[in-house]
Amino acid sequence: MLDLSFESPKPKIISGAKFDWELVIGMEVHAQVASASKLFSGASTEFGNEPNSNVSFVDAAMPGMLPVINEFCVEQAVKTGLGLKAKINLWSAFDRKNYFYPDLPQGYQISQLYHPIVGEGEVIVDLEPGIARKVRIERIHMEQDAGKSIHDMDPNMSFVDLNRTGVCLMEIVSRPDIRGPEEAAAYVVKLRQIMRYLGTCDGNMQNGNLRADVNVSVCLPGQYEKYQQTDDFRHLGVRCEIKNMNSMRFIQQAIDVEARRQIAILETGGKVEQETRLYDPDKSETRSMRSKEEAHDYRYFPDPDLLPLEIDQNWVDTVRSSLPELPDEKKLRFINDYKLTEYDAGVLTADIESADFFESVAKLCEGKLAANWVINELFGRLKKDDLPINESPVSPNQLAGIITLIQNEEISGKIAKELFEIVYVDGGNPNEIVDKRGMKQVTDTSTIEKSVEIVINDNPDQVAKAKLNPKLAGWFVGQVMKATGGKANPKSVNEIVFKKLNL
């Protein structure tokens, strides 16, 4: 299969008072595994349940309770790793990351620091046709989510909801290969797209099922290339980590604001302190949360309640063979099979439902026309009604029916749009509607000739003008189209008008 070649985008430059600066960004994305139960307990993961109703004794860390690993969560993590073309580690292990927080009853989070289940991989982040960034993945590890402290329900008390405690997260860690705010958002969009294709994370950012931590630093032009050649981080600036963002817009704004803060410090002779910060969208600033902690601060050690996780290659191969066609491959296939532009193929493969819909249409009629109609007419109309593609009132069969009528020159493009609206609102078979309502294009030249003659005879002044300026013949074409209710074949009308006017 052909490979889609692309060029890397230019890094984003931010001009300070003295110098131009480049951005360097690495991301840690927490993706909640799509699974009915938690990582080490059988409690439900359903969103929106009564607070503290999805909590087992294990999640509440009652004395003597032991974690039991959920095999399905492991499979989901492996699937995600394979989708990111990453190395799967057949031997991995769980560690305790110790810290106190009211929404973490155990007093530690079970995570994988030293031996993650997934190793190095890569993601192609599409920015525009022909321009993409290859972002290297460093690792993916599994870990438990914490619960939720609620401070805004009562003036004197705080509450805790442990429903989320122990839910399985995949932490996807990238290398610092991202060079601007737009790229950072596009990276998260691509990860989400791949995971939705795989069915391993629903990507719902509003519910907190996908959150991003962003590591931002700035450097002078040329430094990043030195880092690339030597893999030595000292060529890059000191980074700050901005925690827990759950919207694409906030990710971009936070990066921009944080980079400008660092630039202001550096240009006035100061030093950027490595720390963890929070983004406040209301004030459009980042604030220090805590100075950057190191691994030893958490006193990580192997969890004595859990054996190392060993999986075998045959099982990994079975999981691999169950993978669906992924976005990059599907896009490439659409370009090759249906002769689509990269842009159109990108739009149609943005989600699997749209891709499937398009392909059902394209199997029944001409691919390029099918792409135009799905993207321009169908998506536009659905957007107007705020409907998802799987609730489209027009089925692939109906849309293919309309397109086939255009292909066979039985209806004009203009009539096709009317027909589309009729099918969208009232349903029905496009062929039957066209027959019943007499919408077929008039290709019979004698009918068109008659109509042209009438217009010519009725408008001697226009005829005189057109003889002096042939461009005005278009007026006659318009009149004939009007007289035939848009059903005349425009090409025939044009030819006949020129012939009758002797132009």
Task: By CB under 5 A, name the binding residues for Mn ion.
Answer: 171
Q: CB-wise, 210 or 370, nearer to Mn ion?
A: 210
State the pairing for strand pair 131-144/121-128: antiparallel
Q: Give the three-state DSSP class for 187.
A: helix
Q: Is 48 exposed, middle or buried (0-12, 13-18, 19+ CB in 10 A)?
A: exposed
Query: Where would I find the H helices in 168-222?
Result: 181-198
Residue 98: phi and psi, rounded to 5, are -85, 125
Q: CB-wise, 173 or 422, nearer to Mn ion?
A: 173
The contacts of residue 54 (CB under 8 Å, 6+ apart) are: 38, 43, 44, 45, 46, 162, 163, 164
The structure tokens listed for 457 are 């005879």
Q: CB-wise, 29 or 162, nearer to Mn ion?
A: 29
Residue 41 beta carbon to Mn ion: minimum distance, rounded to whole angstroms:
19
Q: CB-wise, 170 or 497, nearer to Mn ion?
A: 170
Q: Which residues are paired to 123 by β-bridges?
A: 135
Q: CB-wise, 146 or 419, nearer to Mn ion?
A: 146
Residue 99 beta carbon to Mn ion: minimum distance, rounded to whole angstroms:
12
Q: In the bound complex, which residue of the shown chain has the CB atom lying closest to Mn ion?
A: 171
Residue 170 beta carbon to Mn ion: minimum distance, rounded to whole angstroms:
10
Residue 263 beta carbon to Mn ion: minimum distance, rounded to whole angstroms:
28
Residue 197 beta carbon to Mn ion: minimum distance, rounded to whole angstroms:
24
In SS3 terms, 290-314 reads as EECCCHHHHCCEECCCCCCEECCHH
Q: CB-wise, 241 or 359, nearer to Mn ion?
A: 241
Residue 143 beta carbon to Mn ion: minimum distance, rounded to whole angstroms:
5
Residue 173 beta carbon to Mn ion: minimum distance, rounded to whole angstroms:
9
Instruction: Return left, alpha or beta for 104; rule: phi > 0 is left, psi -120 to 50 is alpha, else beta.
Output: beta
First vs last C-alpha separation in the chain: 52
The contacts of residue 64 (CB under 8 Å, 6+ apart) are: none
Q: CB-wise, 298 or 379, nearer to Mn ion?
A: 298
